Structures are given as structure tokens and as C-alpha cells.
Chains A and B, each alone.
Chain A
Amino acid sequence: MTIKDMVDILHARVLCGEERLDTPVYTACCSDLMSDVLAFVNEKTVLITGLANPHVLRTADMLDLKCLVYVRSKVPNDEIIEQADEQGLAVIATRETAFTACGLLYSAGLRGVPIEWPESEEAT
């Protein structure tokens, strides 16, 4: 799947990075909690979020993420979008909720980040 495919599936608007839409995406993570993102995500992952503050960009910078998907019509301000563009990110926004956006992308074949839990950390 490419970012362009996600734009079509989610009927999303491209906020920046029009020239990067051919970038392939391999896995996705959906969270508004940046520490969870920092724990589980790698650079080939798309971040689906509703958090529209500069820390999403800083998190994306630390992890070298390539694409952010904003859900439920949350859109960051122009300053954040400009900075995202400078960072080389593609940012897209959909009106769908996080649940529906994830469901649509999963149905189209996108999968979550594989996580290997040490035995001692298994949920009970």
C-alpha cells in the first residue's frame, strides 16, 4: 500500500507532502499517546492520531516516520503543517473516526506493528 492508496481509502485530504504520496507504507499504529508510539513503532509505520500538537512532529522526527494520518477532522495549525513538510512528512486528514479509519485500512491489507512481548510482560 502507498500513502496515495490511504488517501483514496479514507477519502482524505492531503495537508502536505503531495510529492511523497508514492511512498510505500508497511504497518500502522493508532494512538494519541506518544510514549506508546515511541515504544512500539518503527520508521516504516504510519501514525494514525487525533493529537494535533508539536509533540507528534517531534515523535515522528525521533522515529523517522514518513506519514501522519489525522482522524475525526482534527487538523494541526499551519505552523505545524509547514514544519511537517520541512521534516519530509506526508500529512493527510480524514473525517473518519480512529476506529473506522483503522478498520478501513486493515480491511485493505494494512497491518499493525508486530510486537514481541517478553514472557514476563504478558497481560494476565
Chain B
Amino acid sequence: MSSVLIHADYPVEAEDYTRGGEASADIKRKLKQLGVSANVLRRVSVASYEVEMNLVIHSDGGVLTLEVSPEAVWLISADRGPGIPDVEMAMREGWSTASETARSQGFGAGMGLPNMKRNADDFDITSKVGEGTTIRMGFRLA
């Protein structure tokens, strides 16, 4: 087990569009201070902002976790529900179930999950209706 340089948990509230994005801004700051390369920093930032806004837009609230080891950056999003009935469909570009409120804020293009997958080196999503969704994304540092 490699040593953990950073472990930080960021609670994200449902429909909190005002604070949505603050966790990602802090994650970016922390990684920049660590001297993470521009390429990785950019990919983590995009994926982090997307997953954070997904918690705001679609979930009943959850936690975004940042873990950094010398080998990789991990982002883990775990929410309290409601779960995704059809994960395969949700992964398609352009597919969106976002509310009008989300759309008025500039979201709901149906690019969130595909964007995360494209930017991460490792991507895993598990979801159960009535329980919640967990997304794990890894970004190699070496």
C-alpha cells in the first residue's frame, strides 16, 4: 500500500448551485501546490468539476473525496441516492436528465460522465436505484 500524501473529504449538497464547484477549486489549488503537471492538473480539474456538479444536479447529496499518493490522484464521488436506472444510457454523450434549473446554470449538455471517463486514466461507476452511485477515477502521476 503506497503512502497517502493527501486525503480530503468534501461534502456536496444537492441543488447547491452557489457552492457547487468550490470543492473542485480547492482540489485544483492543492494539486497545484504539490507540483502536479499541467496535463494531469487539467484532466483532474475537468473531471472533478463535472463529478461535483453531478452531485449538485442529480444526487440527494454526497461526498467527493480526493486522495493523492506518489503514484496517482484519485477522485471518489459517493452519493446518498437516488441511483441511476440505466448507467449505459447515462454514459452516452448528449443523454441528459438534468432539470431546467441545471440547464439555466449552463449544465445538462449530457457530457458529464463521458467527460469524466475521457479525462481519467481509470474510471469506474457503480449505481443502484434506491441506494446511490459511486464513481472512482484515477489519474496516474508517473
Residues in chain A within 8 A of chain B (CB atoms): 32-36, 38-39, 43, 51, 53-56, 58-59, 61-64, 121
Which listed residue, A36, A38, A61, touches B25 by the CB 8 Å rule?
A: A61
Instruction: Note all chain B residues with C-beta closer than 8 A to A58.
Output: 21, 24-25, 49
Answer yes or no: B72 CB below 8 A from chain A CBs: no
Over the window 45-59 of chain B, the binary record of Cβ atoms lying under 8 Å from chain A Cβ atoms (1 yes, 0 no) is 110111001000000
**Contact between B112 and A35, CB atoms less than 8 A apart:** yes
A113: shortest Cβ distance to chain B, in Å?
Answer: 14
**Contact between A59 and B49, CB atoms less than 8 A apart:** yes
**Contact between A54 and B21, CB atoms less than 8 A apart:** yes
**Contact between A33 and B115, CB atoms less than 8 A apart:** no
**Contact between A33 and B105, CB atoms less than 8 A apart:** no
Size of B's binding interface in residues, CB under 8 A: 26
Task: Give the number of A-B contacts (CB < 8 Å).
Answer: 64
**Contact between B111 and A39, CB atoms less than 8 A apart:** yes
Contact (A63, B107) CB under 8 Å given A35-B115, A58-B25: no
Instruction: Note all chain B residues with C-beta closer than 8 A to A55.
Output: 17, 20-21, 53, 105-107
CA distance A63 to B21 in the complex (A): 13
Instruction: Note all chain B residues with C-beta closer than 8 A to A35.
Output: 50, 106-112, 115
**Contact between B24 and A36, CB atoms less than 8 A apart:** no
Of all chain A residues, the one with the shortest Cβ separation from B41 is A64
CA distance A66 to B7 in the complex (A): 31
**Contact between A62 and B115, CB atoms less than 8 A apart:** no
Instruction: Note all chain A residues with C-beta closer than 8 A to B48.
Output: 62
Contact (A38, B111) CB under 8 Å given A33-B106, A62-B45, A62-B46: yes
The 4 lowest CB-CB distance pairs between A and B, nearest first, are: A35-B111, A58-B21, A35-B109, A33-B109
